[in-house]
Amino acid sequence: MSRIRSDWSELCSDILRLIFEGLGSKDFRRARSVCSHWYDVSRKCTLPLYPWRILFKEGLTFLCDPGDVEENFHVKEHLGFHLSKSSVMASCSTWLLMKDPSLLYLLNVFTPETINLPLMESCQERRDDDFEGFIKSTYKRQKISKFSCAQNPACFWINERRRDYVVAWNDQKSNNLFTYKKGDDYWYTLEGINCVDMAYKDAKLYLYTFDCSIKIFDFSGDFPNEIIRGNPYRNHPFHYPFQPWESVWKAKVATTNSGDVLIVLSMRGLVGERFFSMFKMNSESGDWERVESLGGEVLIFGHGVTIKDVNGWGIKSDSICFGNDDLCPTSGCAARFKPNKKNKSGVFDLATSRITSSAESFSKGFWFVPGGQ
């Protein structure tokens, strides 16, 4: 009597779809990573996107799912990193960009799979003179023994099925932009960028710089090229007539689902109230104007992209999710460069200007969006 062999990866799509639709969000994320067939079926299932929080305390990692009424916290003790050695630089879908003193790597929160990024080893210089109208810059590989302790702007994008990815980060100590795309032979380095923040969408990297300008780099080719003629923000740096009592704590750049580019500020007002303000450039006048709504979407401050249709999943639309150190300190300019341990991660409602902070006491919190890119 012959034994029947079964292969879970060959289950028919209709059965898999029924299985996926009965799973909770945590198990759904795990199941879709089983194989390429399961991933393809999962993409046909409707699962709303909404922000989760990853929270750290005393060596433990907690995953908070706002859409899971029965179980809000999932304790993860062995994600493969410790906060004493590594820190989170950016997130994309279920992946985090991690940094330790000598290495950058990608970490999947749910599996937890890791992708080590190449070391930065010295090599010959290379000059980018290939396209008329694009910036002519010197790219080279560099050897860096340790990363700066300062918070460096970073972002990345990853395709969860093919594991294609693009990583970009700016070292504020050297003012160099480092970029790496899967398949590259080495890190590209662009010197003197002076980047404040960055966002990545549709193979384009948006950089907000210290002179309040927005640079755009195209990653669709073999190596990054700056877009000059096609950059509508090039001759229109961010400027807005703030009131004398308004002060800016942090500035971030973000792109919406409709393609708009926003400058988002964490601010402090006359009587010490803390809030967020958003600005969009008027395409006709070139002036930057204050906007009061995200058009029903949700933004994670510093995440770089917006999320659609999250009502009913723990986060209200037209809100900004923020981390522990994203709010302006409560008092004194001297606190500007000191960690504010009293701040908690939370949500800012754009319609009411109300802030809802987490009640839990954690050393650090970070937002991410499973399946968001």
State whether 134 and 217 are in the same domain.
yes
Which of 210, 237, 264 is where one domain is finished? 237
State whether 260 and 361 are in the same domain.
yes
State whether 343 and 307 are in the same domain.
yes
Residues 202, 216: Cα–Cα separation, whole Å:
12
Instruction: Confirm whether 72 is domain-assigned.
Output: no
State whether 208 and 285 are in the same domain.
no
Instruction: Confirm whether 37 is domain-assigned.
Output: yes
State whether 249 and 356 are in the same domain.
yes
Q: Which structural domain, as residue segments, surrounds residue 148?
A: 120-237
Instruction: Confirm whether 52 is domain-assigned.
Output: no
Residues 28, 51: Cα–Cα separation, whole Å:
15
Instruction: Confirm whether 348 is domain-assigned.
Output: yes
Which of 211, 237, 263 is where one domain is finished? 237
Which among 145, 103, 71, 135 is positioned nearest to 314, based on CA atoms? 71
Return the DSSP state at 38: H
Domains of the chain: total: 3
State whether 209 and 246 are in the same domain.
no
Q: Which residues of 12-158 form beta strands (DSSP E)?
A: 52-57, 60-64, 73-76, 87-92, 95-100, 103-108, 114-116, 126-127, 138-139, 154-158
Residues 99, 106: Cα–Cα separation, whole Å:
9
Ramachandran angles phi, psi of 265, nearest 5°: -115, 140
Q: Say whether pTM exceeds 0.85.
A: no
Q: Give the full edge-to-edge strand order of the sheet including 274-281.
A: 247-255, 261-268, 274-281, 288-291
Instruction: Confirm whether 190 is domain-assigned.
Output: yes
State whether 279 and 229 are in the same domain.
no
Which among 249, 350, 343 is positioned nearest to 302, based on CA atoms? 249
Residues 192, 175: Cα–Cα separation, whole Å:
5
Instruction: Confirm whether 323 is domain-assigned.
Output: yes
Which of 180, 210, 237 is where one domain is finished? 237
State whether 271 and 315 are in the same domain.
yes
Residues of the chain where predicted confidence (pLDDT) is lower than 50: 1-5, 71, 122-150, 333-339
* CATH code, 24: 1.20.1280
State whether 186 and 216 are in the same domain.
yes
Amino acid identity, position 298: V
Residue 227 near residue 134, CB atoms below 8 Å? yes
Residues 248, 275: Cα–Cα separation, whole Å:
10
Instruction: Confirm whether 352 is domain-assigned.
Output: yes
Return the DSSP state at 8: G
Distances (CA, A) of 370 to 3, 20, 181, 297: 40, 15, 21, 16
Ramachandran angles phi, psi of 192, nearest 5°: 70, 35
State whether 211 and 294 are in the same domain.
no
State whether 256 and 267 are in the same domain.
yes
**Rg over CA atoms, the chain:** 22
Give the three-state DSSP class for 226.
strand
Predicted pLDDT of residue 100: 82
State whether 265 and 230 are in the same domain.
no
Instruction: Confirm whether 79 is domain-assigned.
Output: no
Ramachandran angles phi, psi of 288, nearest 5°: -90, 130
